Chains A and B, each alone.
Chain A
Amino acid sequence: MKRETKIEGKIWCITDEKGNLIDDIDTDMIFHNSHLHITDINEMGKYAFGNLKGWEDFSKRAKKGDILVVGKNFGAGSSRQQAVDCFIALGISAILAKSFGAIYKRNCINSGLPILEYPEDVKIGDTGDKVLVDFKTGEIKNLTKNLFIHAKPFSKVQMEIYQAGNLFNFGKK
């Protein structure tokens, strides 16, 4: 079964108290090290952003299909897969970032969680806006505000892993 390469969803802009996107969100803010012993993905969702000031209750507010919009160097720090899996557990359908931490980026791609990088000087919208994201072209359309943003499309290997579901299935082909 082919997975969708265009998705639509409501965005969460992960901002500070001044309304600016937070840069350098570390994996300890996404999934704190006190929960590292957890190996069951179903247990992971409730800890998403549990150590990020102002976002501790994110797991209760997020809905299946929602899209994250974040700043620079998202997912810096640890190699923990749980920092990706906690969003998959919540049903987050994509993460749009100005840039990702290098290990985090791999972890998302390998788990088949769609991620795109968009230009640093661009604003995608505000929390609650509806956006349409095209993984093939990298086009992001803010349907609420009627804005177009050009992000980097999926790379070839990223699309292949995504279509396979994850790195394991991709490797078995």
Chain B
Amino acid sequence: MGKTIIEKIFQKHTKDEVSPGKTIWIDLDVRSARDFGGPNVVKHYEREYGDTPLENPEKTFFTFDLVAPPKNIKYAVNQSICRRFAKKYNIKVYDVDAGIGSHVLMEEGIIKPGVTAVGTDSHYNIVGAIGAFGQGMGDVDITFIFKTGKNWFEVPETVKINIKGKYEYPVTAKDVTLYILKEIKTSFALGRAIEFYGSAVENMKLYERITLCSMVTEMGGIVGFIPINKEVENEIKSFTGKNDFEVINSDTDAKYEKEITIDISGIKPQIAAPPHPHNVFNVDDLKGEKVDTIYIGSCTNGRTEDIETVAKILNGKKVKEGVILSIVPATKRVYRELLEKNILSQLFETGAIILNPSCAGCAEGHVGMTGEGDISLNTSNRNFPGKQGKGKTFLVSPAVAAASAITGEITSPELFM
């Protein structure tokens, strides 16, 4: 019988027979810990395994992206604990200058199509965008993998989501993603792998796939895949110039637990209001609501094209007085591309604050925090109450964020077309 993408990737990494519901042991090609989770991993490792070596330091990484550079002594201490451990065991560190770990590891060609990768980041499944298996894990799991190189997995069922219809600007991949979340919430895909089909998603460029695949976490899914076409394959190759990977697509007779068709024809720009990422409305429904702070970036929307979209809308205009607009490129590579394209200087002139690559506004980062009564627009992926302070966080596309930065209220980018 045929296999789905996750089943095929798993099968290449285990001697066990892969089928949904079975517990199998998988070899992990890439293992990483961040400045969050990382110090806990070090502590567990030293307690459980003492001075004994890691399974394979070359497959092991630290990526400091959560609070980078450290904004307080506690994070400085935690990062320094990880650095010392890394030095002792010869582990590569992508330090506080590098950017979001999952993105950096894709750009470096370390996470590539067909590999299995795990890290202390719940959006690690973002690497589904390049056809890799990624799973966020807690520090116990990651410590165990640092030592052994493998771990147990219960093979999940795979569900199929067919996207019917097309979208065009100002509707973006983020709006499509939020719309899917609105339709399936967290129950349809909970604990399952997702495969997305339909021309709208299959024609997505890599940065758009990153947006969709990152929010599989908010759909409750393990990981999401979109069949990889030649264009995306070339985009992946362009990171390193190497052609050292194999794209894995599903078998034609693969078995899916269930499928759903979602029609996106005619959808408008979308916005997720608190308390959940799946609490989604048309931007027009919340039009005019005053905005205090805007954060553009994160693993969901921090790519060069995302920020280019923002620059196009803001070009020659100013950020509304009293509104804080923070822009955070996902990685150093993105930052450099934006510098070379002169986009950062354009954005500087609009009054935007441009920060160094990191996870920034997600978790208790440097930007996007709110006080009571504040409204925050965020291009990231979570808006749970209290996460970023006592204010309210709404999730939007970079285009909606940029349009709203100009007016100072929730605004559809249609106004600036």
Contacts and interface: CB of A to CB of B under 8 A. Distances in A.
Interface of A: 23-24, 26-29, 32-34, 36-37, 39, 51, 53, 72-73, 76-82, 84, 99-103, 105-107, 110-111, 155-157, 166-168, 171
B144 A168 contact: yes
Contacts of B124: 79
A110 B77 CA distance: 27
B220 A166 contact: no
Given A39-B39, A79-B122, A167 B382 contact: no
Contact of A26 (B43, B121, B138, B384): B384
Contacts of B218: 76
Given A28-B382, A36-B66, A168-B48, A73 B190 contact: yes
A39 B220 contact: no
A40 to B, nearest CB: 9
Contacts of A36: 36, 66, 363-364
B191 interface: yes
A81 B37 contact: yes
Given A99-B191, A102-B222, A106-B138, 6 more contacts: A28-B384, A32-B386, A37-B75, A72-B190, A100-B191, A102-B221
B140 A167 contact: yes
A161 to B, nearest CB: 8
Given A33-B387, A36-B36, A81 B140 contact: yes
A99 B136 CA distance: 18
Contacts of B40: 39, 81-82
Contacts of A100: 191
B384 A77 contact: yes
A28 B387 contact: yes
Contact of A72 (B43, B152, B186): B186
A53 to B, nearest CB: 7
Contact of A80 (B37, B75, B148): B37
Interface of B: 23, 36-37, 39-40, 43-44, 48, 66, 74-75, 77-78, 120-122, 124, 135-141, 143-144, 147-148, 152, 154, 156, 186-187, 190-191, 217-218, 220-222, 276, 363-364, 382, 384-387
A77 B138 contact: no
Contacts of B222: 102
Contacts of A76: 186, 218, 220
Contact of A103 (B78, B137, B152, B387): B137
A72 B187 contact: yes
A150 to B, nearest CB: 19
Nearest to B156: A102
A34 B276 contact: no
Contacts of B140: 81, 107, 110-111, 166-168
Contact of B44 (A105, A106, A107, A168): A168
A73 B192 CA distance: 13
A95 to B, nearest CB: 15
Nearest to A40: B43
B136 A103 contact: yes
A34 B221 CA distance: 26
A37 B220 contact: no
B220 to A, nearest CB: 6
23 contacts: A26-B387, A28-B386, A29-B386, A32-B387, A34-B364, A36-B66, A39-B39, A53-B385, A78-B363, A80-B37, A101-B190, A102-B191, A102-B221, A103-B135, A103-B137, A107-B140, A110-B138, A110-B144, A155-B154, A157-B154, A171-B144, A171-B147, A171-B148
A77 B382 contact: yes
Nearest to B36: A36
Contact of B120 (A51, A79, A111): A79
A156 B23 CA distance: 9
Contacts of A32: 386-387
Nearest to B150: A171
Nearest to A51: B386
A106 B137 contact: yes
Contacts of A29: 384-386
A72 B154 CA distance: 20
Given A73-B186, A79-B121, A80-B36, A107 B138 contact: yes
A120 to B, nearest CB: 9
Nearest to A100: B191
B138 A155 contact: no
